[in-house]
């Protein structure tokens, strides 16, 4: 509950400080040097009257890890709750962040976790927190698994009594949310894959290695019912080029994105991108793992275009627009870290889904892009992609405030957030889609706005971006009406013809350069995969179980996976099946410790020794 007077606030602060454990992080303001691996969603603002519908006016960021100074080497975990308005303009250098709920000093209530999930309710007044990793610097023993709810209007956290299956706590999984398919029209949340170990699960011995999962939970926010999904239908279909699979690859640190009006009964699909385990990674090239919500099963979905590569700790959002009567979807992937590379990058990719075809576009790093990062969070409001936090290079001493905005229509980084925008087809893929349209349906890891977009108007125009446009501004600013004449101008027409010829020449040159870059990238990746496969055949099995070769996981307390039968695990977890098809795996060398010596490591739960996802990073 928020304090009602200054004296009450001061007294409660003194009490909290006196009772706080020694490891508690007291976050004094909403702008630490760094924040990463938190949970984020779009919902209502506090004090708003919404009549049961979400205004999607505020961005909420909870928990994760934060450094208050560049030399802070412990006590990173926090349970603070921060908000950022989306219904007003602001500069990225001075965003109006509000510390709504300071760190309580008690890491258990509410949970001070990272890499979990936060989901917004359909009415926009509740935030549900589930899962996540507990502190390992210093250690915080995980409590029993709980689901938490934050009442935005009351300003209170509470533990939710859930129905259905009992599920254990998991971290580094893939959260997503589907609008309107729950009880009484509420949302349905999903969390797929992830890991369990002694920093996620109560009673887990530190002598038992971390395990990676390929199961999924489904949480109906309306009835507060949990469903533990450990087996999948073999009847899933996400397009006419997909193949059902019942045993998807285990992974952590990937993303899961809701796309409406696809799959069985048009209930939508969840697209999984990236991820890895301790010894193997997901190859996001010609095939993606896609979950068919209506059939409750996974498919292997063929894709076209440039490959996003094997990537972890990125972020992904989706916007949909109608073009000539057809809804076209675009998943935008930003940042993260590619396997076998030491640098976190600032690259952008677009996955366009149209006519049963999934096509990648490699945008690369744009001018004015932020420093490369991983462990950041993203949300899409209209055509404004808001990036929050993340870990960057070691030579960046402090990044305040660490908030960035990308215009997804023009694909330009902005110094200002602009409200009241409308998502529109990215101009970069207008030739692919056959035009530029607009739409209101968007989604991210913790929230979905604008419904499924079925009733969105068709405002599409030609590939030059001309369209009638709904209420709002597709350029990324507050809409303003202008006037213009109806007459023609011969000079303007001639200039347009010349400009068109020059533009076509530039497009041809750009296409040539992109094709050459992609060919070189594919050649390098194919060479790397052949080398890794050769090492795997010589040293161990492709399954990741190390049944031959060294026989132990690195960074997992030195225990082999085979030594754990199903009875050896605490009765908290999900399905613990194997790692899936060899065709979908790029196996790493067994001796990761030696090959990564002296190199920057992958981000995982906290970049603490022996707690990182270090997959390959070998010299090329």
**Phi, psi angles (nearest 5°) of residue 568:** -80, -15
Handedness of CA 391, 397, 402, 405 (dihedral sign): negative
Percentage of residues of the chain with pLDDT beyond 90:
60
Mean pLDDT confidence for 522-540: 38
Weakest-pLDDT range from 117-121, 173-177, 335-339:
335-339
Q: Where are the alpha helices (DSSP H) in 172-228?
A: none
34-86 tens-digit pLDDT: 999 999 999 999 987 667 778 899 999 999 999 988 889 899 999 999 999 99
Q: State the number of CA atoms in the 13 A half-sphere of 414 facing the CB.
A: 23
Mean pLDDT confidence for 155-159: 97
| Highest mean pLDDT: which range of 219-233, 334-348, 546-560 | 219-233
Q: Distance between CA 498 and CA 114 in Å, rounded?
A: 54
Residue 489, preceding peptide bond in cis (omega within 30° of 0)? no
E strand or H helix that includes residue 195? strand 195-196
Q: Distance between CA 35 and CA 606 in Å, rounded?
A: 11
pLDDT number for residue 28: 53
Q: Distance between CA 292 and CA 298 in Å, rounded?
A: 6
Helix (H, G, I), strand (E, B) or coil at 348: strand
Q: Higher-confidence residue: 604 or 192? A: 192
Q: Helix, strand, coil proportions of the chain in percent (round to 5)?
A: 15, 30, 55
Instruction: Quote the tokens at residue 425.
Output: 């087809």
**Phi, psi angles (nearest 5°) of residue 555:** 65, 20
Q: Distance between CA 612 and CA 593 in Å, rounded?
A: 11
CATH fold for the domain made of 164-449: Neuraminidase (2.120.10)
Task: Note the Cα 442 to chain centre separation in Å.
Answer: 14
Q: Distance between CA 81 and CA 71 in Å, rounded?
A: 23
| Burial bucket for residue 54 (CB in 10 Å: 0-12, 13-18, 19+) | buried
Burial 558-569 (b: 16+ CB within 10 A, else e): eeebeeeeeeeb
Q: Distance between CA 62 and CA 47 in Å, rounded?
A: 19
| Highest mean pLDDT: which range of 9-13, 395-399, 434-438 | 434-438
- Mean pLDDT, rounded, of the chain: 77
Contact 268, 290 (CB under 8 A): no
Instruction: Quote the tokens at residue 520.
Output: 């070189």
> 224 pLDDT exceeds 90?
yes
pLDDT number for residue 308: 85
Handedness of CA 59, 259, 341, 619 (dihedral sign): positive
Q: Distance between CA 402 and CA 404 in Å, rounded?
A: 7
> 7 pLDDT exceeds 90?
no
pLDDT number for residue 26: 54
Weakest-pLDDT range from 142-156, 340-354, 556-570:
556-570
Weakest-pLDDT range from 417-421, 435-439, 525-529:
525-529
Nearest to 115 by CA among 37, 197, 211: 37
E strand or H helix that includes residue 16? helix 6-19
Q: Higher-confidence residue: 494 or 135? A: 135
Helix (H, G, I), strand (E, B) or coil at 256: strand
Mean pLDDT confidence for 340-363: 91
**Phi, psi angles (nearest 5°) of residue 504:** -65, -40
């Amino acid at each position: 509950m928020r304090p009602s007077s200054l004296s009450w606030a001061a007294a409660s602060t003194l009490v909290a400080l006196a009772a706080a454990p020694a490891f508690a992080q007291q976050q004094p303001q909403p702008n630490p040097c760094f924040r990463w691996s938190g949970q984020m969603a779009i919902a209502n603002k506090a004090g708003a009257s919404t009549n049961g519908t979400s205004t999607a006016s505020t961005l909420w960021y909870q928990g994760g890890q934060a450094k208050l100074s560049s030399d802070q080497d412990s006590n990173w975990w926090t349970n603070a709750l921060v908000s950022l308005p989306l219904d007003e303009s602001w500069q990225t250098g001075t965003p109006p962040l509000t510390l709504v709920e300071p760190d309580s000093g008690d890491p258990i209530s509410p949970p001070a976790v990272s890499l979990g999930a936060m989901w917004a309710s359909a009415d926009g007044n509740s935030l549900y927190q589930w899962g996540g990793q507990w502190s390992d610097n210093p250690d915080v023993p995980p409590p029993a698994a709980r689901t938490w709810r934050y009442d935005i209007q009351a300003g209170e956290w509470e533990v939710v009594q859930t129905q259905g299956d009992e599920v254990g706590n998991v971290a580094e999984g893939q959260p997503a949310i589907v609008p309107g398919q729950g009880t009484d029209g509420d949302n349905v949340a999903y969390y797929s894959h992830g890991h369990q170990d002694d920093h996620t699960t109560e009673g887990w011995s530190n002598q038992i290695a971390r395990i990676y999962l390929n199961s999924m939970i489904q949480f109906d926010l309306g009835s507060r019912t949990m469903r533990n999904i450990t087996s999948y239908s073999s009847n899933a279909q996400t397009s006419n080029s997909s193949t059902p699979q019942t045993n998807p690859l285990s992974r952590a640190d990937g993303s899961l994105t809701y796309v409406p009006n696809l799959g069985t009964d048009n209930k939508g699909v969840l697209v999984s991108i990236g991820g890895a385990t301790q010894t193997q990674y997901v190859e996001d090239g010609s095939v993606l793992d896609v979950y068919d919500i209506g059939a409750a099963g996974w498919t292997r979905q063929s894709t076209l275009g440039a490959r996003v590569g094997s990537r972890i700790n990125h972020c992904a959002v989706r916007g949909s627009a109608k073009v000539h009567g057809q809804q076209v979807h675009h998943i935008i992937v930003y940042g993260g870290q590619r396997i076998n590379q030491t640098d976190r990058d600032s690259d952008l990719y677009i996955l366009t889904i149209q006519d049963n075809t999934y096509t990648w576009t490699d945008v690369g790093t744009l001018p004015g892009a932020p420093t490369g990062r991983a462990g950041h969070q993203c949300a899409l409001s209209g055509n404004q992609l808001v990036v929050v936090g993340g870990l960057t290079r070691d030579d960046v001493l402090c990044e305040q405030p660490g908030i960035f905005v990308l215009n997804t229509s023009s694909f330009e980084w902005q110094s200002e957030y602009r409200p009241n925008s409308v998502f529109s087809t990215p101009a970069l893929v207008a030739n692919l889609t056959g035009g530029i349209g607009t739409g209101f349906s968007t989604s991210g890891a913790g929230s979905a706005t604008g419904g499924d977009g079925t009733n969105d108007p068709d405002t599409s125009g030609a590939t030059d971006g001309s369209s009638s446009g709904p209420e709002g501004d597709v350029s990324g600013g507050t809409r303003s009406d202008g006037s213009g004449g109806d007459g023609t101008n011969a000079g303007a027409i001639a200039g347009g013809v010349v400009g068109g010829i020059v533009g076509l020449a530039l497009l041809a040159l750009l296409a040539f350069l992109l094709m050459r870059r992609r060919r070189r990238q594919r050649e390098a990746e194919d060479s790397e995969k052949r080398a890794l496969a050769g090492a795997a055949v010589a040293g161990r099995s492709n399954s990741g179980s190390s049944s031959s070769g060294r026989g132990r996981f690195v960074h997992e307390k030195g225990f082999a996976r085979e030594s754990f039968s199903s009875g050896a695990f605490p009765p908290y977890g999900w399905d613990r099946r194997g790692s899936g098809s060899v065709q979908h795996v790029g196996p790493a060398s067994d001796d990761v410790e030696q090959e990564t010596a002296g190199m920057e490591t992958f981000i995982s739960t906290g970049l603490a020794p022996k707690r990182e996802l270090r997959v390959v990073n070998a010299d090329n």
